[in-house]
Chains A and B, each alone.
Chain A
């Protein structure tokens, strides 16, 4: 967000900004629940939801651990205002294992790791041309991970 020299104007902008920030926070959650979770099925959500506001030109890296022999779905969703967001999955040596296609809505990748791996999910939000209003658009980006655990090898045992 640009800084304004005029303090009054700055205060006004700040108040508007705080309001927007709160609104966006709730909106991100609601947006993720409505659009993200249905696309995750039949995988089980892992309980983690990485979600925050992005601006054009932003890039994020999220390191995630994927356990051996589970099947995973990594799903990324974002608000349209951000344009064609691209997400990639890299191995530890930064080798690209998956890259989403431009224009793809709700891209996801289903995969399995033969041994437990720490992979990096990279989010790239495209830059946008400056507008006459000087207002930088913001939108939510969420990353969801679902998994299917491998078959349990034992029944529940009670030990007192």
Chain B
């Protein structure tokens, strides 16, 4: 007998690669049901991945999006989140803000946002994520963007593990969602309707794949909060669905060092669809940070 297990591994961590081995940290986010008694013959595991806020921020940075401190969730809001759902979502939001500030080398802002993330983690009971030793490491590496990202990675990994081990996987999913929503908000908020940047619009459109995975992720958990968020994400997905995908046959050719994949999917959209997505993301994000 065969059966299908649906697993989602999504990791919202931010990393940088120019560090040495010992400093390379990552987030492992396992929905690990592989040892159920139902395993009889063979399980096919299906994973979905959602871009980390770090990756999203880098993508938008490459399109020419500038650093705009006014877009970040205010550090003064950190005391507003009293439920664990708000805390989880905003833990993701502050993580994305932290990532964004770090990519633009805003070390002072990084410290502020690290403290916000710490507060969210502490309130969720994850006191080990940003302990004294971690904060000390952050202070020592404030001017080293790569090292700082690795430390942040480590803290989010600890958080993710903690939530999973304490049967709060749905909160882990909310952290991921909060991070993705904030990352896309930060990338899209500067889009000028009168003179929309083509690279920014393209990067927004490319998130079509991520929203599909995120909706699936929310659907995995039998919890009213993930169901509620899924309903809201479906509104955004409906806008993304207006982006038409066409597919041609792929071909692989060898360049100097790497293989180059030609063909495949391409996305077709109008600026109006992108504006609609941007507005929907803004609405949801503002609802989350209230």
A67-B9 contact in complex given A110-B257, A156-B66, C-beta closer than 8 Å: no
- Most chain B CB atoms below 10 A, which of A3, A34, A63: A63
Number of interface residues of B (CB under 8 A): 80
B9 close to A45 (CB less than 8 A):
no
Cα separation A158 to B35 with both chains bound (whole Å): 51
A54-B17 contact in complex given A28-B28, A46-B55, A117-B261, C-beta closer than 8 Å: no
Number of interface residues of A (CB under 8 A): 70
B206 close to chain A: CB less than 8 A: yes
Cα separation A159 to B67 with both chains bound (whole Å): 7
- Most chain A CB atoms below 10 A, which of B21, B63, B153: B21
B260 close to A112 (CB less than 8 A):
yes
8 Å CB contact of A153 from B14, B39, B62, B69: B62
Cα separation A33 to B221 with both chains bound (whole Å): 29
A46 close to B52 (CB less than 8 A):
yes
Contact string, A49-88, partner B, CB cutoff 8 A, digits 1/0?
Answer: 1111111011111111101100100000000000000000
Give the A-B pair count, Cβ closer than 8 A. 226
Contact residues in A for B161 (Cβ distance below 8 Å): 25
Q: A159 CB to closest chain B CB, in angstroms?
A: 4
8 Å CB contact of B15 from A25, A45, A160: A45
A55-B34 contact in complex given A109-B259, A112-B255, A158-B66, C-beta closer than 8 Å: yes
Q: A151 CB to closest chain B CB, in angstroms?
A: 8
A52 close to B7 (CB less than 8 A):
yes
- Most chain B CB atoms below 10 A, which of A45, A59, A63, A68: A45
B196 close to chain A: CB less than 8 A: no
Contact residues in A for B32 (Cβ distance below 8 Å): 21, 25, 52-53
B122 close to chain A: CB less than 8 A: no
A63-B262 contact in complex given A28-B28, A52-B7, C-beta closer than 8 Å: no
B238 close to chain A: CB less than 8 A: no
B46 close to A60 (CB less than 8 A):
yes
A25 close to B30 (CB less than 8 A):
yes
8 Å CB contact of B47 from A3, A61, A113: A61
B47 close to A33 (CB less than 8 A):
no
B271 close to chain A: CB less than 8 A: no
* A residues 11-57 in Cβ contact with B at 8 Å: 17, 21, 25, 28-29, 32-34, 37-38, 40-55, 57
Contact residues in A for B258 (Cβ distance below 8 Å): 71, 110-112
A47-B54 contact in complex given A52-B45, A110-B257, C-beta closer than 8 Å: yes
Cα separation A52 to B34 with both chains bound (whole Å): 9
Cα separation A65 to B214 with both chains bound (whole Å): 13
B252 close to A97 (CB less than 8 A):
yes
The residue of chain B having its C-beta at the shortest distance from the C-beta of A58 within the complex is B43
The residue of chain A having its C-beta at the shortest distance from the C-beta of B213 within the complex is A63
The residue of chain B having its C-beta at the shortest distance from the C-beta of A29 within the complex is B28
B70 close to chain A: CB less than 8 A: yes
B210 close to chain A: CB less than 8 A: yes
A60-B21 contact in complex given A44-B16, A52-B34, A112-B260, C-beta closer than 8 Å: no
A49 close to B49 (CB less than 8 A):
no
Q: Known pairs A61-B46, A91-B250. 12 more at Cβ < 8 A?
A: A32-B28, A38-B21, A44-B17, A45-B26, A46-B15, A47-B13, A48-B52, A50-B11, A51-B28, A52-B45, A71-B258, A152-B62
17 A-B contacts (beta carbon < 8 Å): A29-B28, A44-B15, A47-B55, A47-B153, A49-B13, A58-B43, A58-B44, A67-B206, A92-B264, A95-B250, A97-B261, A114-B262, A116-B202, A147-B55, A149-B58, A149-B62, A153-B199
